[in-house]
Amino acid sequence: MKIVGISCSPRKGKSTFYALETCLQATKEADPKIETTLIELSGMKISGCIACGKCTKVLECSQEDDFPKMIPILSDPELAGLVVATPVYFGSMTSQCKALLDRCVMFRRNGFLLRNKVGGVIAVGGARNGGQELAIQAVQAAMLVQDMVVVSEGQPTSHYGATLWSGHPDGIEKDTFGLETARSLGRRVAEVTAKIHG
Ligand SMILES: Cc1cc2nc3c(=O)[nH]c(=O)nc-3n(C[C@H](O)[C@H](O)[C@H](O)COP(=O)(O)O)c2cc1C
């Protein structure tokens, strides 16, 4: 069982990476049979979908950027779940995240390859309440149209996903509440993954 986490921050190794790493660590601890991989979009060039229609016929993209590297990872039959982590930009996901999700239309068009994969979402904002839940819901909407199984961050809070605050005066490492939602999301992803794919 493989879980792939994708950090959609344009900044490598920053707060969104930290939040995702925390989440995936909890996934592995909850179920050692799960293998996790963390991918950062930072440094990758993934343009928006140009609606050329090529992927309506074949699992290929006409654009020559870094997205084709993601195709074997996301169409791997052993993939059991996906955790998407995004900074909050103007109350939603980053444009890097949106471009990635739009390009994933190819998996829907070629047999719903993401169907029944577990979907968890993390949003990191500069403000404690800067639109994390709005950003999460936008990502979850894209997961739903792929027939993914979207999960909350599980107990004890069980709301919309992991919501972190990078603007904490002492750094995201001190955002106790947010980090706990990242960990509980990781555990929830592991739990549902085992039920569906174990
Ligand atoms: C263009 C832009 C828009 C932003 N909009 C918001 C916002 O609406 N709400 C918020 O809480 N933070 C906002 N931020 C702050 C980022 O969400 C925050 O710095 C985040 O931690 C960045 O993640 P990173 O450290 O992984 O790059 C914005 C930052 C930028 C650059």
Ligand 1 neighbourhood includes 172 CB (under 6 angstroms): no
Q: How confident is the model at residue 88 (pLDDT cuts 50, 70, 90)?
A: very high
As a whole number of Å, the CA-based R_g of the chain is: 16
User: Does pTM surpass 0.85?
Assistant: yes
Mean pLDDT calculated for residue range 69-76: 98
pLDDT attached to residue 117: 98
Distances (CA, A) of 171 to 97, 116, 152: 23, 36, 25
- Whether 120 lines ligand 1, by a CB cut-off of 6 Å, is no
Whether residue 89 has its Cβ less than 6 Å from ligand 1: yes
Q: Report the distance separating Cα 60 and Cα 106, nearest Å.
A: 8
The pLDDT score that the predictor gives to residue 43 is 96
By alpha-carbon position, which residue is closest to atom 25 of ligand 1?
Answer: 15
Residue with tokens 């569906």: 196
Tokens of 177: 């509440």
Give, for ligand 1, the residue of 20, 89, 122, 179 to mutate: max count of ligand atoms closer than 8 Å to Cβ. Answer: 89
pLDDT tens, 156-171? Answer: 999 999 999 999 999 9
CB-ligand 1 contact for 87 (6 Å cutoff): yes
41-65 per-position pLDDT tens digit: 999 999 999 999 999 999 999 999 9
Mean pLDDT of the chain: 98
- Please compute the mean of the pLDDT values over residues 182-191 and round it to a whole number: 98
Query: How many Cα atoms occupy the beta-carbon half-sphere of 63 within 13 Å?
Result: 21
Cβ–ligand 1 contact at 168 (below 6 Å)? no
Architecture field, domain 2-197: 3-Layer(aba) Sandwich (3.40)
- The finding on whether 124 has its CB within 6 A of some atom of ligand 1 is yes
**pLDDT per position as a tens digit, 21-31:** 999 999 999 99
Domain range annotation of the chain: 2-197
